[in-house]
Structure formats: C-alpha cells, structure tokens
Amino acid sequence: MSPVRKLRATGWIVLASATGFCLFALVGLGYARSHHRKGLSHGRFRKAPGQRASYEALEPFCRAKGIRMTQDVATGSLCLSKAGHLFQLRRADRVATFDGVRHWLSYAPKEERGRWFLARADLRELEAELVRGPSSAHIRYHGVVIDPGHGGSNRGARSCLGQWEKVYTLDTALRLARILRQHGIPVVLTRTLDQDVSLSERVRIAGMHPGFVFVSIHFNDAPSRKGCGVETYCLPPAGAPSTYGGGHLIADSSQTHWCVGNRNDPDNLWLAHRIHHEVVRLGAKETGEWDRGVKHARFRVLRDNPLPSVLVEGGFLSNRREARLVDSSSYRQELAQAIARGILAFFRSEEPRRKKLPHLYQAEVRPEKASSRTLAEGHSLRKPTTTGGLSLGD
C-alpha cells in the first residue's frame, strides 16, 4: 500500500487494510499519510475542528505533588524529579523521557515568559509516573493474560525473510508464559495454537480474569525498510489523540470519549513503562532508532479491555536486520525475558517476598518438547510449511 493516499477534503479519516488497518492522518489539504497499524476496529472518524487541549501551569502542580523542577538553560529542557525518578520535557516537543526511556505526550509542552504549561491529559500521566507509579502497591494484580497477536487466517505482517508474524508472536508468548509460570505467576494465553481468535474474544478472555494484566505481543512492519526499533502502546487518556494522530483530536464519541480501558489509565501507563524500559535494554548494541517510545493507540484489545493492558511491538519485520533478529530463537527468548522483567517490576511493590527472576539478564534458550510448539536453540522460523499448522523451521 502506498504511504500517501489522496482523499477528498471532507475531514474524514479512513481505516482499511487487508490484514489490519491503516491510520490516515491529514497532511496538508486533501492528502493523508498512512501508518500501518494492526488490530484497529473498522470505522470512520471525523477530525474535530477547533478542539484544543486545555493547558495548566506546571509549577503549582509540582509544588502540590512534591516534584522538584529544574531548567537546563543550555538545552531548553525542563527536568522534573521525585524519589529518584526523572522526567524531562522540551518545549514544543511531544517526545519526553522518563528515566531515560522515550514517552510520547498527547500534546507538546508550552513555555511562556519562563512559565511551563502542560496539557491536562499529560498532567494526569505525569502524576501516574512520578507520583502514583513508583509508590503504588499494585495489590490487585497477580496474573497475566498473554495475547499472541494474529493467528490462523489472520497471518499478520510478512517478514522480508518470508515468515509470518503470527508464528513469531506465538513462539514469544509461549516462552513468556513458561518464564512467568516458573516464578509463580498465573498465566492465561488467548491462543496456544495457530488458530483464529477475534479481537472481541481476546477482550472477553481478559474480562474472565480479574486481578490479571494483559500483554499483547506483536512485531512491526512499514512501507519502508528503514523503519526500526521497538515500541510499547497503551490507551490514550479520554479525549486525547493517539500518537499517530498528528496531535489532532478525533471527534467520534465511541473512540475519544471515556471507554472501558480508561478506568486503568495510571496502571496502563506504568505497566507500559516498566515493560518498555526492559525491552529497550535489548538494543544496547543496535544502531538506529531502537527506542521508539511508549506510545498511545486505541487498538481494540486496549480500548475495550477491563484489565491494565499494553501492546508490545518487538521489532520491524520489514527491516532486514531486525527480521533476522526476530527470526533468531535467542532474541525471542531475550524479548520474553525482558517482558517478564517488566511485568515483575510492575508487580514488585505488591509482594516484596515474591520469588524473583534469577538469571533473566542472560539468554537462556533451552530445547522444548515438541508439544510446546516453541523452537529449540539454533532453529529458525524462516521456512513456512503448507500444512496449516505452526512451522517449526528447518
């Protein structure tokens, strides 16, 4: 699909694709730029004319919450710190950093005559990270619903090496489930075989397990082979745009108004940060833009989910270097371990005596039984079979 499509200047944004959907954000007059996104629901969304974010001054907020403010005159950035955590902002830039990890804000910060202002939606997220997140005892959460993206006839993206995304997501999910179970974490998978599972069914399964969190595993693709890196998605705050929305609100009440997933906004964001913080560490030796940030999107498995939920994109199958990485069983094991570390970090304050994850900073790839449908060390997933089941490679 071409990355640029011409649309009539009606203000409509259309989502459509064969295997997923494409988000069209208006660029200029009558044109749209597409970003391939998997798992969005069908629909059309009208851009909201004249709707603007409501901003509040940062100084009174930080004073009330005990957050220290310091400004770096040389770089023009603002540093907010509390309890050993650091949040850095730059004026007119939607990309912030929290403890060294990129986070996409809903709106760019503003500075006027030495005073800083942040959108209300971003203030709520700032509070979740600097105030609530680090000190919150997540006593309600004790298990994980793992969602391997795609499956069955929904094959997902195709790697430039020839394999389908659905195979990689299931293999990574099974590895993650095994790691968590070994350390006392109850686990439920939305699928354990190469089968079709609708988005509504995935959400239904999540709703059957109160006290769990939901982690959906995917791999990315792009029209250009230059796309690279990892990113983690959580639901945008009610009324705020998705990261790829160009900063504009989408005035469809079923999409931008409060929805089921917004009841867990602070936990959605904190879970996304903890997982992304660990996944980013896998790219210490990678070149290019490895940390694509914690982002926001209204994927159905996030929007309609009653559990704290995130969606992890573990690399680009359209990028030859990253496709080879994802095809490696050692990388998929490391990715599963990183996600497990993030989940355990999210749970850690709940139960300090919980058995910790030893040796998770080493890639431990162990041969699996045939029934587990994962791959033994040294095997790849490059050669799809035509038997209708999972390809176990060569």
Among 278, 313, 322, 368, the active-site one is 313
What is the distance between the alpha carbons of residues 59 and 71, in angstroms, rounded to a whole number? 12
Joined tokens for residue 77: 């950035």
Three-state secondary structure string covering 202-244 = HHHHHHCCCCEEEEEEEEECCCCCCCCCEEEEECCCCCCCCHH
Q: Which of 124, 122, 211, 154 is nearest to 38 (CA)?
A: 154
Phi, psi of 97 (to 5 degrees): -130, 140
What is the distance between the alpha carbons of residues 57 and 123, in angstroms, rounded to a whole number? 10
Phi, psi of 375 (to 5 degrees): -110, 145
Which 3 state secondary structure label does DSSP give 392? coil
What is the distance between the alpha carbons of residues 173 and 175, in angstroms, rounded to a whole number? 5
Residue 313 is among the residues annotated as catalytic for this protein: yes
Residues belonging to the active site: 313
